[in-house]
Structure 1
């Protein structure tokens, strides 16, 4: 996997990563040694328990080897060692996930390889343990000296193991301070698989406690004041209330919000045009009645983040809203469906997959959607994967369901651009050779990458054809197209943050003009519905949102990043490690910090405690 290492990472940096990783892995080695020590002590009491030691060693070796084998495809998919996605997977459709592992990652074959390898390793290990080792003059030492030497040895090894290769926490390495290089791949390689899983667990616990954020009621109120420039008197309803400035276009009869699986922005960047995998959306963008912004961040690193934000209007505050009792009781103040119903629209949610995924049916209906459609409502002969029907069947069903006599608002979530990538691309017209010739020499024979790019092409083609079809028959429609998340695959193995994390936002329809959004606009998915409402609602129409219409917004944030029209950075370092893709202009650090904290704190409080900011609710 050397191609994932940055080109400017020299041997000294690689050695630093290996050395730091070895220190950190002393913690893991210490824990595994303790596991084996139990079996060795048991064997010391009775030789008949030798089998117990062999079983323990097999289990330790099996888990370790299995994780090692699994880390390669995991990194290729998520550009990370094991992370919180393993906990997200627990909420997925178990059957669909299992089938995906079989089809995409050849699970049975790899399990067989792991078992064979572990059998060999276990045999060698136990032969090593059974061998009688003679130490020079050890037996001649007095027992008290042997005990002293043994205790000193145990103390030294235990201390180094406990503190990650140091004599105290100040000199040791742990997962939080292991990222000491400027190379993402090397930083991830420092963590062994057990440490990576522990990191995921620690972050998950923080997530369940709202990412470790310790906002008090007063903090939430102060941040809400700074965000909205209002005195809401400890009531989020007062802070989040907005008034539309007046319709910018004639009220459309039909509104479609397409949240497209893994549709990243980078294929729309000019330098990738020769791939021709985003030609259809490029064609839409070129229309006079279309506006497009690339200064857009998704709410989360997976589809569930986009789902929660597009339904509730709240930023990602690490609340798992789809299963929270509060979210299933009644719509939130900022929920999109009830507010669109106030504008006279019948609301529906379309999902290409099963209705049970992420509790999506119960969640969307509880949040105010009138109707919900899923895989069971599509053509029973539709092709697809375990995650859902192919896009063409989803869009076809939606088009047939359009009621000319009603004003409709539809949110659409597709699945085709997702592993196991099993669409027959050739039958759909995909020209593999065009893509191959546009790839760098090192990737021309990478069939997996070409297949992934082919599925992006398919999602682009189906979305483009649906938009064209709708605009031809229902010219007064408004269509909003946005990627649910990026960060899945790139041509560049070490992409910039801009190419890796941004998603496109495309708004097309009658009355839309190129100058609708200022050039310095920026935002995230929390800003989409406020933009739609302000675009079509009459003057003084009251609505509620955490986000701001993009006509007036110049800053966006996500689960871990922020963006402006010129720069992008992570929310931990704020402006310290920003990357520029436009002019070298940065927002004031204090303003950025307040914005990020405010949208998270407000979304967290609203999601968990409701509109009234009362410190007694925290007790």
Structure 2
């Protein structure tokens, strides 16, 4: 058999493999939409679904080409060059590995989307840094990992055998031509078609880059769920890798010394010529607005979203504790508030370091262990006379949390091994015992600032809710009809109720025990649980910020204020520090007119919320709106992220 005949037979086998994988990707996309159809927006139509499937087909041309390229190079070209048929088995192996990968990723994507409302993205890199034993337990107990693995294995086996049978079928022989020019034209045509096919797949169904499709421009519909369905798992992994690479290199903002100086000048309102970036963070307090509290508590409630506190959900009665505190005359609630990032570590790093999330994970970064950042909480409040403690309901090894907070100047760290706990799960103690331990620790008159991170409102959701007094039937009756039988939702709502009750009980107990106390109550993140499968941006992403205690009055923080975790440190300093007290912060104090907050993917102002890099915005009730200040919002976000990135990655010196 000639080399040309071998080549023709092999490219037919490559085409079989390509079409098989492409068909599988399309079927998996349809299955994804079918299984999670409840996440479809109410306004979505069949036309939107068809558009999603069409764009998904286009982008999956690339994903199917990945394994086909391996087959083409290592099977077709090698077989042609060496005139052998012994490599055909390699194509089956390549295809089987890829099929198994796709099926396992699909099984993982379903619970991932239910938890995070997105396909695979850069958040998966956090998994490698998490508590693997606790995570494994959660996967087994809460997400039925053994069943998923068994199901994926069986389906993979069936599909691999099917591919093997398809590739075993005969191919067409190369056509024979009498004239040399005919043979030449045919071969040129085949090679040209292969080249065009490569370009067509590379650009996602286009022959030009101008009309190419890739993960960054694949949002073809107005439905977030359908837009995520467009991105198959291979493209989602590529998206995660791309974003992570950009963040690591500062590519999103093209950060260099000149850029940093420009951003610093923008934030400070003056030319920035200093050699140390910390000068850009320098501020002076305007003077205390409340008597200096003896104790300050910053409480980060696990998955403590804001939406249960809203009047529209009052019939659920799962947030009555914090709502009762909000109603007191010495409490203020700031609704325009979002977390620092998507995960708990981002909340911790913002509170501890004062820097915004740029996916550099300061808790693992060498710069964090040289000395505390100028913007860090502990050194600045020590100057105000406080002893600084961190309390966590989980293990001190989680996310290197103990080492990080101590390196950033905290005096003490207390984890689950440091106090008595009668119940909990792999993530840590039930909140009741955490708060009991904190309350019992106040045995002298030393002024303290305590940061408290709870764990109970987290999968695998093991609180005995019935024993705690949670009325599941009452809450179910207040839910929409289609959600009343959702046991998983009721369990999540019950754990929110438990966290709310424990936080409120602790706050009221400590206020009675230590009247000269100030409490800051917020969440680490939202975006885990919503009643609606298509919540508004405000319901999905916002978290509460409640400031309660000594000297607080309703007007102490302007109603037209907005922020995120990085605004907490300067707000507290401006509330209690004497006039002229020098401090450092990236964010502005809410008392001094901070009008924007931002997280990893959304920004918020006092009356609007929108996705970063998107042109659209919403009122808090979900009504679409046009925002005239969109460019200034993006510039502020870019500037704060750039300075945070430089300080963590490059250090103090700007050069």
Per-residue CA deviation, residues 19-40 of structure 1 (Å, 9 max, x unaligned), is 1110110111111223344675
Contact kept, 8 Å, 2:283 with 2:585, in 1: the verdict is yes
Which residue among 242, 246, 258 is the counterpart of 2:299? 258
Which residue among 25, 35, 59 is the counterpart of 2:97? 59
Matches within 5 A, 1:151-190: 151-190=191-230
Which residue among 283, 286, 290 is the counterpart of 1:242? 283
* 44-53 or 552-561, larger mean C-alpha shift: 44-53
Q: Using the alignment, how far apart are the partners of 2:651 and 2:191 within structure 1?
A: 57
Count of aligned pairs: 609
Structure 2 CA distance for partners of 1:537 and 1:448, relative to 1, 3 Å: same
Q: Is it true that 1:127 corresponds to 2:168 in the alignment?
A: no
Q: Using the alignment, how far apart are the partners of 1:92 and 1:12 within structure 2?
A: 41
Partner of residue 370, structure 1: 411
Partner of residue 588, structure 2: 548
Contact kept, 8 Å, 1:295 with 1:564, in 2: the verdict is yes
Partner of residue 363, structure 2: 322
Contact kept, 8 Å, 1:230 with 1:239, in 2: the verdict is no
Q: Using the alignment, how far apart are the partners of 1:396 and 1:46 within structure 2?
A: 74
Q: Using the alignment, how far apart are the partners of 1:54 and 1:609 within structure 2?
A: 48
Contact kept, 8 Å, 1:310 with 1:526, in 2: the verdict is yes
Partner of residue 619, structure 2: 580
Per-residue CA deviation, residues 86-120 of structure 1 (Å, 9 max, x unaligned), is 11111111111111111111111110111111111
Matches within 5 A, 1:184-333: 184-210=224-250, 212-234=252-274, 235-333=276-374
Which residue among 54, 60, 72 is the counterpart of 1:25? 60
Aligned-residue offset at 1:510:
1.9
3-state SS, counterpart of residue 349 of structure 1: strand
Q: Using the alignment, how far apart are the partners of 2:463 and 2:329 within structure 1?
A: 33
Which runs of 5 or more structure 1 residues have no equivalent in the other structure?
Answer: 615-619
Q: Using the alignment, how far apart are the partners of 1:250 and 1:190 within structure 2?
A: 55
Which residue among 453, 468, 486 is the counterpart of 1:413? 453
Per-residue CA deviation, residues 16-66 of structure 1 (Å, 9 max, x unaligned), is 111111011011111122334467557897767666554433322111111
Q: Is it true that 1:104 corresponds to 2:104 in the alignment?
A: no
Contact kept, 8 Å, 1:231 with 1:239, in 2: the verdict is no
Q: Using the alignment, how far apart are the partners of 1:236 and 1:504 within structure 2?
A: 31
Contact kept, 8 Å, 2:262 with 2:272, in 1: the verdict is no
Partner of residue 70, structure 1: 108
Partner of residue 4, structure 2: none
Q: Using the alignment, how far apart are the partners of 1:370 and 1:191 within structure 2?
A: 47
Partner of residue 43, structure 2: 8
Contact kept, 8 Å, 2:613 with 2:634, in 1: the verdict is no
Aligned-residue offset at 1:193:
0.6
Per-residue CA deviation, residues 535-570 of structure 1 (Å, 9 max, x unaligned), is 111222211111111112222222222211111122
The two structures, once aligned, show a CA RMSD in angstroms of 2.2
3-state SS, counterpart of residue 518 of structure 1: coil
Partner of residue 94, structure 1: 132
Contact kept, 8 Å, 2:616 with 2:626, in 1: the verdict is no
Contact kept, 8 Å, 2:285 with 2:582, in 1: the verdict is yes
Aligned-residue offset at 1:605:
2.3
* 7-16 or 225-234, larger mean C-alpha shift: 225-234
Contact kept, 8 Å, 2:304 with 2:543, in 1: the verdict is yes
Aligned-residue offset at 1:479:
0.9
Partner of residue 384, structure 2: 343
Q: Using the alignment, how far apart are the partners of 1:586 and 1:191 within structure 2?
A: 29
3-state SS, counterpart of residue 413 of structure 2: strand
3-state SS, counterpart of residue 469 of structure 1: helix
Partner of residue 497, structure 1: 537
Structure 2 CA distance for partners of 1:211 and 1:504, relative to 1, 3 Å: farther
Per-residue CA deviation, residues 417-467 of structure 1 (Å, 9 max, x unaligned), is 111112221111111112211111211111111111111111111111111
Q: Using the alignment, how far apart are the partners of 1:2 and 1:56 within structure 2?
A: 32
TM-score scaled by structure 1?
A: 0.93
Partner of residue 551, structure 2: 511
3-state SS, counterpart of residue 91 of structure 1: coil
3-state SS, counterpart of residue 291 of structure 1: strand
Q: Is it true that 1:465 corresponds to 2:505 in the alignment?
A: yes
Partner of residue 80, structure 1: 118
* 233-242 or 283-292, larger mean C-alpha shift: 233-242
Aligned-residue offset at 1:598:
2.2
Aligned-residue offset at 1:585:
8.5
Aligned-residue offset at 1:221:
2.2
Contact kept, 8 Å, 1:43 with 1:53, in 2: the verdict is no
Q: Using the alignment, how far apart are the partners of 1:153 and 1:438 within structure 2?
A: 61
Aligned-residue offset at 1:587:
5.9
Partner of residue 480, structure 1: 520
Partner of residue 617, structure 1: none
* 138-147 or 81-90, larger mean C-alpha shift: 138-147
TM-score scaled by structure 2?
A: 0.88
Aligned-residue offset at 1:140:
5.5
Contact kept, 8 Å, 2:537 with 2:620, in 1: the verdict is no
Q: Using the alignment, how far apart are the partners of 2:108 and 2:259 within structure 1?
A: 42
Which runs of 5 or more structure 2 residues have no equivalent in the other structure?
Answer: 1-35
Contact kept, 8 Å, 1:211 with 1:317, in 2: the verdict is no
Contact kept, 8 Å, 1:570 with 1:578, in 2: the verdict is yes
Aligned-residue offset at 1:415:
1.3
Per-residue CA deviation, residues 351-390 of structure 1 (Å, 9 max, x unaligned), is 11111111111111010001111121122x5322222211
Structure 2 CA distance for partners of 1:338 and 1:26, relative to 1, 3 Å: same
